[in-house]
């Protein structure tokens, strides 16, 4: 059943890869509502809700951005967020494919923000024992842009990118531009004055079911597409195992239900931000 959560309805969501969308209708689901996607004869994307009687709604807002088709079931008060790196012509754009997960999409965002699991889940790639401590970093809600940011993040990583086989302390910046999107910026090994940008677009299908697609904007002229995809997919599939085994599947917003540590600063800010928005879809709060 389609949610009545206004805070969830009034957001933009990536619901398909733009390249795979043709004139033949594709049916998918967003926020508990079946929707139909296609292109008209002019190639313009068209999105409609599938009504209970089998009919179709009026066309919903639709935009192509970052290799994906975006739509909304509500009335967003702002446009899709900007990824500045997407405008730089020399970057590699690498979409990594959709991965389906039995969990709230909000749990997926929170896992992406969590550095403490690196040594245990992504052993010898993003972390290793005994180097398990998360150095202090800054997390904040940026009111001027209505986003959550975590800055001055550092972590010892054995393999910091597909191009690298040795480890180093990496500097990371996290950004949450909307409740179901999260981004990571990291210093590019081959161009230390620039940042690689990795985004995770999440399509919340049901409260406890979602699919997500990582997309990368990289400064990397040497790696093959296969090497880049393999590196990211290995990490993401490791994360899926963890996310799907978290209980509850939905994200608690009440601080008493899950006790944070110092390393969870970004999670605390993210949950506070969601609560301020009044978001209910995908949380354990009252529905």
pLDDT tens series, the chain, 287 aa: 899 999 999 999 999 999 888 889 999 999 999 999 999 999 999 999 999 998 999 999 999 999 999 999 999 999 999 999 999 999 999 898 899 999 999 999 988 887 554 443 434 444 445 444 556 778 899 999 999 998 877 756 555 544 445 556 678 889 999 999 999 998 887 777 888 999 999 999 999 999 999 999 998 878 888 877 777 777 777 777 777 878 789 999 876 655 554 446 788 899 999 999 999 999 997 55
Domain count, the chain: 2
State whether 168 and 229 are in the same domain. Answer: yes
State whether 66 and 131 are in the same domain. Answer: no
Give the pTM.
0.87
Which of 21, 40, 71 is a domain's end point?
71
Domain limits for position 41: 6-71
State whether 150 and 90 are in the same domain. Answer: yes
Residue 282 belongs to some domain of the structure: no
Coil, strand or helix at 44: coil
Residue 215 belongs to some domain of the structure: yes
Residue 226 belongs to some domain of the structure: yes
In sequence order, what are the beta bridge partners of 232?
none
| Cα–Cα distance for residue pair 90/3, rounded to 1 Å | 41
| Cα–Cα distance for residue pair 34/46, rounded to 1 Å | 14
| Cα–Cα distance for residue pair 203/55, rounded to 1 Å | 23
Which of 41, 71, 101 is a domain's end point?
71
State whether 39 and 140 are in the same domain. Answer: no
């Amino acid at each position: 059943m389609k949610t009545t959560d206004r805070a969830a309805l009034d957001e933009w969501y990536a619901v398909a890869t733009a390249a795979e969308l043709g004139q033949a209708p594709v049916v998918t689901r967003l926020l508990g509502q079946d929707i139909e996607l296609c292109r008209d004869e002019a190639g313009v994307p068209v999105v409609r809700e599938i009504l209970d009687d089998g009919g179709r709604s009026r066309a919903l807002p639709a935009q192509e951005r970052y290799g994906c088709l975006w739509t909304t079931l509500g009335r967003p008060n702002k446009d899709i967020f900007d990824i500045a790196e997407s405008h730089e012509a020399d970057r590699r754009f690498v979409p990594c494919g959709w991965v389906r997960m039995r969990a709230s999409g909000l749990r997926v965002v929170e896992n992406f923000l969590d550095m403490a699991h690196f040594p245990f889940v992504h052993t010898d790639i993003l972390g290793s024992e005994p180097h398990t401590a998360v150095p202090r970093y800054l997390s904040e809600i940026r009111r001027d842009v209505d986003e959550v940011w975590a800055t001055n993040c550092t972590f010892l990583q054995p393999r910091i990118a597909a191009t690298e086989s040795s480890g180093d302390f990496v500097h990371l910046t996290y950004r949450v531009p909307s409740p179901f999107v999260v981004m990571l910026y990291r210093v590019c090994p081959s161009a230390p004055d620039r940042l690689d940008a990795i985004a995770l677009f999440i399509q919340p299908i049901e409260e406890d079911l979602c699919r997500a697609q990582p997309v990368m904007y990289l400064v990397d002229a040497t790696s093959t597409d296969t090497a880049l995809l393999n590196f990211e997919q290995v990490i993401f599939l490791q994360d899926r195992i963890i996310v799907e085994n978290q209980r509850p599947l939905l994200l608690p917003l009440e601080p008493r239900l899950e006790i944070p540590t110092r390393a969870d600063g970004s999670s605390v800010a993210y949950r506070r931000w969601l609560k301020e928005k009044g978001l209910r879809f995908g949380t354990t709060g009252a529905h």
